[in-house]
Amino acid sequence: MATTLTEAAKLSNDALLSGVIETIIKDSPLLQSIPFIEIVGNALTYNREKALPSAEWHAVNDDWATSPAINFTQKTATLSILGQNADVDDYIKKTRSNIQDIEGAIIELTAKAIRHELEEKFIYGDHTTYPNQFDGLIELIDTTTDPATANAQVVSMATAQVGATLTFAKIDELIDCVKGGKPDLLMMSRRTRRKINALARAAGTNLDVGTGALGEFVQLYNGIQIAVNDFMKDTHQLATDPYDYELSLTAGSCASIYALQFGEGGICGLTGPGGLMVEPMGAMETKNADRTRLKWYVSLADFSQVKRAALIGIKND
């Protein structure tokens, strides 16, 4: 059973853990929305649908042929270890806490650091290059191969290496790539959101406004929440030939948009038993300090190729 971190924070009786979860999700539309499945063991192996069987029309008393076997692609998502220690010097805690809760502030900052690292790796995680990480969306949605021949879930703006100007028509094409319902989020950088706002104003309208998971106001495009991810780069570069796949993530000036549908049939987080853990370690042996350890056994599962898509090559205008 998958549950979001927002709901997990409501269910937790541990005030410290609840506070850490709220800190992590407060400024992250992605972590507010994506559900997590708790798994036993260090990995989840699942079958992703590859091809449907055939169906045929029959006359009365026809012989019915057996359909070829349904094809699946077996995938494995391995939990990675994300965490950090929050050490608070006992002298500072005892002499300064009358002004501010130093221990609480340091734990909150450590929780924010974990959020930043997790959000960045949800996009750019690369298990092959960095074995301690899990694969992020940049690896799960293959934007490094010509989408005309290899991946129908990638839409390219470009007719040249420098990319092309974003249009509503291309956003609609991206949304149509996600099958079985609309995406839950359109995730993008702040630069890309500014461009969408400019397109709306040029059309004489404004984006719709709705309510997010924490009661905050959010912008909507065609009823889909626009989610800003500050870790999405505006420096992607398209290949020179055939101009429609990403060659580099840091050598250009193009941006991307991800359309994501969440859940146990789409994009879903994975977590080990206990989920996000906050462990008071007590007094340290070699330092005059108390330690609290924040750790998370976490990964990302991609249950269906048609539940996510990428729009690449958005030019910097």
Average pLDDT of the segment spanning 190-196: 96
Q: Both tokens of residue 300? A: 């990302």
Residue 56 lies in a domain: no
Domain range for 147 is 141-262+306-314
Separation of alpha carbons 248 and 266, rounded Å: 27
- Which pTM does this prediction carry? 0.89
190 with 221, same domain: the answer is: yes
What is the tens place of the pLDDT at every residue in 260-308? 999 999 999 999 998 999 999 999 999 999 999 999 999 999 999 899 9
What's 119's domain CATH number? Answer: 3.30.2400.10
82 with 165, same domain: the answer is: no
233 with 248, same domain: the answer is: yes
36 with 175, same domain: the answer is: no
Q: Which of 280, 266, 264, 279 is nearest to 3 (CA)?
A: 264
114 with 34, same domain: the answer is: yes
Residue 66 lies in a domain: no
- Judged against a pLDDT cut of 90, whether residue 36 lies above it is answered with yes
At 210, is the pLDDT very low, low, confident or very high (cuts 50, 70, 90)? Answer: confident
What is the tens place of the pLDDT at every residue in 212-232? 777 778 899 999 999 999 999
Residue 62 lies in a domain: no
Q: Which of 194, 182, 255 is nearest to 219 (CA)?
A: 194
What's 170's domain CATH number? Answer: 3.30.1930
Q: Give every CB contact of residue 117 below 8 A, 6+ residues apart in sequence.
A: 82
59: which DSSP letter? -
- Judged against a pLDDT cut of 70, whether residue 39 lies above it is answered with yes
What radius of gyration, in Å, describes the C-alpha atoms of the chain? 23
Q: Give pLDDT, residue 253.
A: 93
| Number of Cβ within a 10 Å radius of residue 285 | 5
Separation of alpha carbons 267 and 28, rounded Å: 16
What is the tens place of the pLDDT at every residue in 165-180? 999 999 999 999 999 8
123 with 155, same domain: the answer is: no
